Amino acid sequence: MIPDAGPTPSPAGLRVGELRERLRALGARPLHEARVMRLWTHAQPWDGPRRHPADHFPRTLDHALPELIQTLAGLARLQVREPSSDDEGERLLFALSDGQTVESVLLARGGVCVSTQVGCAVGCTFCMTGRSGLLRQLGSAEIVAQVVEARRLRPVRKVVFMGMGEPAHNLDNVLEAIDLLGTVAMIGHRNLVFSTVGDPRVFERLPQGRVRPALALSLHSTRAELRASLLPRAPRIDPADLVAAAQAYGRIIGYPVQYQWTLIEGVNDTDQEIEGIVNLLAGHYAVMNLIPLNAIPDSPYRRPSWERTAHMARTLHQRGVLAKLRRSAAQDVEGGCGQLRARTISIQPRAPGGRAGVAGFAGAAPAGRSGAAGA
Ligand code: SF4
């Protein structure tokens, strides 16, 4: 008789810690737990020729393994792939176990950009994801699952947390995912990039982790008022103070901070902004990433001309700021954050109860994990 180890936790919002607890409840000793986590995070087969679970795992764990594998596979099911014409970027849409969807992007050179929330509460006025508000937090296991699924498609050596959501608003789950990715999943710590609009909790927590990721700060303007209008629900911190806090973290980890700047014609591509950036960053160990806007429907914002964009990058360079012109990932497949999801939802029939009709694990999200929530 196999002892009952209790129910498998619901996969919607599942955390890595809950997964580990489940394994222990099933009789896993540390080496069994380590092996399950390693096989999962490296997307390796569960039943390879020299590692049949029955040969190694306790009987209770072995018995529950098929259900556990099902749960892990249902965390993020690949629903849509949109390759870019240059074959470098590829946008992925994942269905979560409760029918919600999130986007990830395969990037050049083994990178993957993952989502940390369904929707986002910051409401950046140039971002499609910001329009929906926050729908729910992703559990750390759901964040890791996007990397696992990406590993089934190609090798992954770098993970950036720049997809849907503001990582600072789901800090415990994002940090738990970073810890697992930087240890068991063997991603180099500086190849994990925590992206944020800036939040005091981030600057306090990041230095405390055993895995300390690189930092990307979404700045977008050096003018407090303009920044507040572009990022309406970001913490009201003066851009100079934000840069000071980010630079302090960069010094702790000995790695340059990346500043993200979505370039919008006539809004933040001005000479005044060039002066502002020079004042804040000239001579500092930092990289300014200039990302021409990927326009979204029904928005007044436009992408600046190539000449203007190149002028800005060149001027910053000449004045002591390491500026790089970035293409939005997979731009030619409407690569703006949240656009693939928005298009898919608009064409997808809805299941009874209002959920998108996708296949997957049908576990209901526990209270507090789903539905609208403030960050
Ligand atoms: S740009 Fe990022 S922080 Fe801003 S609304 Fe979109 S997902 Fe949220």
Q: What is the pLDDT of residue 342?
A: 72
Q: What is the pLDDT of residue 53?
A: 56
CA 163 to ligand 1: nearest atom: 7
Asked whether residue 360 carries a pLDDT value surpassing 50, the answer given is no
Ligand 1 center–CA 179 separation, angstroms:
23
Q: What is the mean pLDDT of residues 150-171?
A: 96
From the CB of 127, is ligand 1 less than 6 Å away? yes
Cβ–Cβ under 8 Å, residues 369 and 136? yes
From the CB of 129, is ligand 1 less than 6 Å away? yes
Task: Output the residue whose Cα is nearest ligand 1's atom 5.
Answer: 130
Ligand 1 center–CA 246 separation, angstroms:
18
Q: What is the pLDDT of residue 294?
A: 86
Asked whether residue 83 carries a pLDDT value surpassing 70, the answer given is yes
Asked whether residue 170 carries a pLDDT value surpassing 70, the answer given is yes
Q: Helix, strand, or coil here: 92? A: strand
Asked whether residue 374 carries a pLDDT value surpassing 80, the answer given is no
Q: What is the mean pLDDT of residues 272-283?
A: 98
From the CB of 25, is ligand 1 less than 6 Å away? no
Task: Output the residue whose Cα is nearest ligand 1's atom 4.
Answer: 124
Q: Helix, strand, or coil here: 372? A: coil
Q: Which of 372, 367, 363 is nearest to 97 (CA)?
A: 363
Cβ–Cβ under 8 Å, residues 330 and 90? yes
Ligand 1 center–CA 36 separation, angstroms:
34
Q: What is the pLDDT of residue 163?
A: 93
Instruction: Quick: pLDDT tens for 88-146.
Output: 789 999 999 999 999 999 998 999 999 999 999 999 999 988 888 999 999 999 999 99
pTM of the shown model: 0.88
Q: What is the pLDDT of residue 89?
A: 84
Strands of the sheet with 111-113, listed across from one edge: 76-83, 90-96, 101-107, 111-113, 158-161, 192-196, 214-218, 257-263, 286-292, 323-325
CA atoms within a 13 Å half-sphere pointing along the CA-CB vector of 323: 24
Ligand 1 center–CA 227 separation, angstroms:
13
The residue type of 368 is: G
